[in-house]
Amino acid sequence: MELLKNDTIAAISTAMTSAGIGIIRISGEESVEIAEKMFRPGKKDKKLSEQDAYTVHYGTIVDGEEILDEVLVLLMRAPHSYTAEDTVEIHCHGGVYVMKRILELAVKSGARPAEPGEFTKRAFLNGRMDLSQAEAVMDVIQSKNEYALKNSVHQLKGSVMKKIRALREQVLYEIAYIESALDDPEHISLEGYPQKLCVKVDNFLKESEELLTGAEEGRVLREGIRTVIVGKPNVGKSSLLNVLAGDERAIVTEIAGTTRDTLEEQIRIRGLTLNLVDTAGIRETEDLVEQIGVNRARMMVKDADLVLYVVDSSAVLDENDEEIISFLQDQNVIVLLNKSDLPPVTDADRISNLLPKPVISISAKEETGIEAFADLLENMFLDGKVQYNDEVYLTNARQKAAMEEAKTSFEKVKESIELGMPEDFFSIDLTAAYESLGQILGESMGEDLINEIFSKFCMGK
């Protein structure tokens, strides 16, 4: 199957729901001609094909003599459009039925229904954007919070592209130098070169490590913070979930063991997204169903970005707390001393001696201490950097995997230098790194993978 098709495509680019405005986008060599067949301009002597780019035209969409809707038509000429092709956008009323009728008419007039993500795929294949920017388009659409949106826009502007392209250029220079020296040793000397290359490879490794470290931060921004609430029964875990969610999501009673399975909720705090999971109270129990819930809570803690350990400050710590504390030592934890509205029995010092993690006093019942918790959360995950958006983040598993491959290749180059291997070994691994970095930008990708990436896009984009 040909990767870049030259036919003209059409799709509804707004949500399929009743709204004030709907947009049908047509892109390809025949887009203006197809739109002209459907469009009856307000001024009868006006022809779309004779109009300038970046102009808007009022009229109606007609199917024969039947008027489908009163519309505005936006005209864009190649290469200055989203797809770098001739593009027409029909802005109609946002009714589902009228949008479908106009799309059907566009197809009847010569267009083909677009596949998911095909407009952005054409923009990529036509060289208007690289693959990291194309993926950022979908990240912008799916942004769940302020910081994810800022980072996606930053990447859309080319932050990842510029960083990776600069690194690739440095690698390519070294490959070219080695190959030239091997071909023409009389004029280009490799004496002392391995030592010089080693310094450069150290810099390549440093940049790779920084990008990989940032990839985890990028995932947190994009997908949200995997947050698990743990604690003994009746310490206020479900009450905390309800306060953070702003709704009665969890059942709260005086009966221990009410929560027997996990309960998930997505919330937003200070621009961050928390994928919050309330778990069964951890304690020794002979109830089979409750045991399953307790085991599931332990498993979820291992994969969490953040654990909220809720402690009843009005009660003494017991063997169940000791067990919980034992498997939280290596986790990213915030201890929430709940029930601060009651006389304290367990305080922050007592907890800190057993579990050296940040401690916040709260009352889920009185809804106090939540602002202090939000401040701590913001400092832990943003560190004052993301809001200024000057960091470069790899935001998906594909980009991260390609970066890891490049880093491995750089490590092999360094190993070859240290072992005193011939220079052509350096060139082989540098070339592998160059290819891996190219995968991030989409400059060395197979057709199947390109199609797979864009198939995950929404229709009309």
pLDDT at 295 over 70: no
pLDDT at 2 over 70: no
- Among 440, 411, 451, 447, smallest CA distance to 155 is for 440
User: What pLDDT is attached to residue 387?
Assistant: 42
Neighbours of 461 (CB within 10 A): 20
Average pLDDT, integer, range 47-75? 94
- Among 52, 48, 51, smallest CA distance to 61 is for 48
Task: Give the CA distances from residue 277 to residues 221, 237, 305, 323, in Å, rounded to whole numbers and listed in that order.
Answer: 18, 10, 12, 20
The two tokens of residue 445 are 């990708």
pLDDT at 227 over 80: yes
In single-letter form, the type of residue at position 277 comes to: V
What's the pLDDT band for 256 if we cut at 50, 70, 90?
Answer: very low
User: What pLDDT is attached to residue 249?
Assistant: 45
- Strands 39-41, 19-27: pairing is unpaired
Task: Give the CA distances from residue 243 to residues 193, 197, 238, 284, in Å, rounded to whole numbers and listed in that order.
Answer: 63, 57, 9, 27
> Cα 13 from chain centroid?
21
pLDDT at 251 over 50: no
User: What pLDDT is attached to residue 394?
Assistant: 76
pLDDT at 297 over 60: yes
- Tell me what percent of the residues of the chain surpass a pLDDT of 70: 82
Average pLDDT, integer, range 361-375? 85
What's the pLDDT band for 445 if we cut at 50, 70, 90?
Answer: low
Can you tell me the distance from the alpha carbon of 103 to that of 121, in angstroms, rounded to the nearest whole number? Answer: 20
Can you tell me the distance from the alpha carbon of 135 to that of 131, in angstroms, rounded to the nearest whole number? Answer: 6
Mention every residue, 6+ apart, whose C-beta is less than 8 A from residue 238: 250, 251, 252, 258, 259, 263, 278
User: What pLDDT is attached to residue 9?
Assistant: 96
Of 372 and 453, the structure prediction assigns the larger pLDDT to 372
Average pLDDT, integer, range 127-146? 76
Of 41-55, 140-154, 334-348, 402-416, give the lowest mean pLDDT range: 140-154
Mean pLDDT for the chain overall: 82
Across-strand partners of 264?
277
What's the pLDDT band for 188 if we cut at 50, 70, 90?
Answer: confident
What's the pLDDT band for 281 if we cut at 50, 70, 90?
Answer: low
Can you tell me the distance from the alpha carbon of 160 to that of 215, in angstroms, rounded to the nearest whole number? Answer: 11
Task: Give the CA distances from residue 158 to residues 217, 236, 316, 398, 434, in Å, rounded to whole numbers and listed in that order.
Answer: 18, 46, 55, 17, 19
What's the pLDDT band for 229 if we cut at 50, 70, 90?
Answer: confident
Average pLDDT, integer, range 168-191? 89
Can you tell me the distance from the alpha carbon of 234 to that of 272, in angstroms, rounded to the nearest whole number? Answer: 28
Average pLDDT, integer, range 283-307? 67
Q: pLDDT (tens digit, 9 = 90+) per residue, 373-392?
A: 888 888 887 654 444 345 56
What's the pLDDT band for 242 if we cut at 50, 70, 90?
Answer: confident
- Among 252, 233, 253, 235, smallest CA distance to 340 is for 235
Secondary structure (H, E, C), 42-66: CCCCCCHHHCCCCEEEEEEEEECCE
User: What pLDDT is attached to residue 198?
Assistant: 94
Can you tell me the distance from the alpha carbon of 7 to that of 268, in angstroms, rounded to the nearest whole number? Answer: 43
> Cα 391 from chain centroid?
15
Can you tell me the distance from the alpha carbon of 263 to that of 265, in angstroms, rounded to the nearest whole number? Answer: 7
| DSSP H or E run through 89 | strand 87-94
39-41, strands of its sheet edge to edge? 39-41, 55-63, 66-76, 87-94, 19-27, 9-12, 112-113
Round to the nearest angstrom and report the end-to-end CA distance of the chain: 21
User: What pLDDT is attached to residue 63?
Assistant: 94
Of 201 and 181, the structure prediction assigns the larger pLDDT to 201
Q: pLDDT (tens digit, 9 = 90+) per residue, 150-162?
A: 666 766 677 788 8
The DSSP line for 316-383 is ---HHHHHHHHTTTTS-EEEEEE-TTS--SS-HHHHHHHS-S-EEE-BTTTTBSHHHHHHHHHHHHHT
Can you tell me the distance from the alpha carbon of 281 to that of 263, in angstroms, rounded to the nearest whole number? Answer: 12
- Among 103, 29, 124, smallest CA distance to 454 is for 124
pLDDT at 370 over 80: yes
Mention every residue, 6+ apart, whose C-beta is less than 8 A from residue 62: 38, 39, 40, 68
Compute the residue count for the chain. Answer: 461
pLDDT at 130 over 60: yes
What's the pLDDT band for 449 if we cut at 50, 70, 90?
Answer: low
- 120 with 137: CB under 8 angstroms? yes
- Among 114, 34, 124, smallest CA distance to 82 is for 124
User: What pLDDT is attached to residue 231?
Assistant: 84
Number of helices (H) and strands (E), helices first, in the chain? 15, 13
Structural domains of the chain sorted by starting position, each given as residue range(s) with its CATH number in brackets: 9-129 (3.30.1360.120), 131-442 (3.40.50.300)
Average pLDDT, integer, range 23-37? 96
Q: pLDDT (tens digit, 9 = 90+) per residue, 93-119?
A: 999 999 999 999 999 999 999 998 899
What's the pLDDT band for 282 if we cut at 50, 70, 90?
Answer: low
User: What pLDDT is attached to residue 339?
Assistant: 84
Mention every residue, 6+ apart, whose C-beta is less than 8 A from residue 205: 407, 410, 411, 414
Mention every residue, 6+ apart, whose C-beta is less than 8 A from residue 104: none
